[in-house]
Structure 1
């Protein structure tokens, strides 16, 4: 029931999928994650278009798109089709994953979790290095100094880290709720990493 939700919360509920064990098994493949991310960010596309974009054969992208459809991550977009072309679109705008909600003692689940997290980390790395390589594109524009490329070390309790994470995500949601079509807006990727670090003692 969504009667008690605000309009913004209803929109999130409609477009966010919580990843369960079955979905994790279906998504834990590097190419499937890349395909889903491309559809979520770039909109509907065909297997051939996605293959060209990702440097894969249309046979491989077609197979993995069908697998994503079987697990409910993508669906047909018939309004875009022309003739025999099959167009695909993402079902949800966002995928949430909480490792505590699945059985991490199951070796298969643990392996799938590792694949998922490694591919997410690889995606963030590729996007960051791509920005570094392409940064001259933004020279002498308002975008040149608009972003941030920084890190900071904090000393927090587990409860404080949880609070920080929740406050940052809430702030991001405020900006995500704004009109995406307004003039002057562009796609901006925000990478949020707040992770505990193990450091061996020097003594």
Structure 2
């Protein structure tokens, strides 16, 4: 979930207060993430993948659709079977606007979304560490877990963040097809924040 203020590409959903509140639920965020990562699916398939009931996934998919995050996939639906797909490649949240929003419901929704993203990142990293030795050497030498300490101003911190985003986005032009031998989905998490002196 990107946070910078550059104009968003057409396939990135920029959240407003209403859509933010519509997304701010852990299961909705997981459903949207699964559709973006694995492609179109039915409520039952998503329930199996996420360990939820199909009633819950069906309800929350309809809520996501009401806020424009997901839509029907008419190419796949047959009969009563309803297939869903993500309406956008990604989501952008302008945290500086929403963390200081006058409406406490918007601030609470922002908090929910941010904490759920952090939880998902932690789960993904834990899964990687737990399965690390099952991956080929080529992949075991192509991952990273690093942290860097420096003293910056807010302006320099934004510049650094934006340059890192720009570099990561430049690799979209180099993405390989799903059936490319030896390829795998590759996740990059970026966590950057100031700390107190003590």
TM-score (norm 1): 0.88
State the alpha-carbon separation in 2 of the partners of residues 24 and 78 from structure 1.
26
Tell whether 2:78 aligns with 1:85: no
The structure 2 residue matched to 1:38, chosen from 27, 34, 38, is 34
Number of equivalent positions: 190
| Cα shift at 1:180 | 3.0
| Cα shift at 1:45 | 0.3
Residue aligned with 2:165, SS: helix
Say whether the 8 Å CA contact 1:20–1:101 is kept in structure 2.
no
Gaps of 5+ in 1: 1-8
State the alpha-carbon separation in 2 of the partners of residues 15 and 85 from structure 1.
26
| Cα shift at 1:21 | 0.5
State the alpha-carbon separation in 2 of the partners of residues 83 and 65 from structure 1.
19
Tell whether 2:107 aligns with 1:116: no
Show the counterpart of 2:141.
145
State the alpha-carbon separation in 2 of the partners of residues 135 and 185 from structure 1.
16
The structure 2 residue matched to 1:21, chosen from 17, 20, 43, is 17
TM-score (norm 2): 0.91
State the alpha-carbon separation in 1 of the partners of residues 39 and 77 from structure 2.
14
State the alpha-carbon separation in 1 of the partners of residues 108 and 127 from structure 2.
28
State the alpha-carbon separation in 2 of the partners of residues 148 and 14 from structure 1.
30
Q: Deviations over 1:10-69 (max 9, x none)?
A: 9x6221111110110100000000000000111000000000111100000000000000
| Larger Rg, first or second structure (1 or 2) | 1
Show the counterpart of 2:156.
160
Say whether the 8 Å CA contact 1:39–1:89 is kept in structure 2.
yes
Gaps of 5+ in 2: 1-5
Tell whether 2:147 aligns with 1:131: no
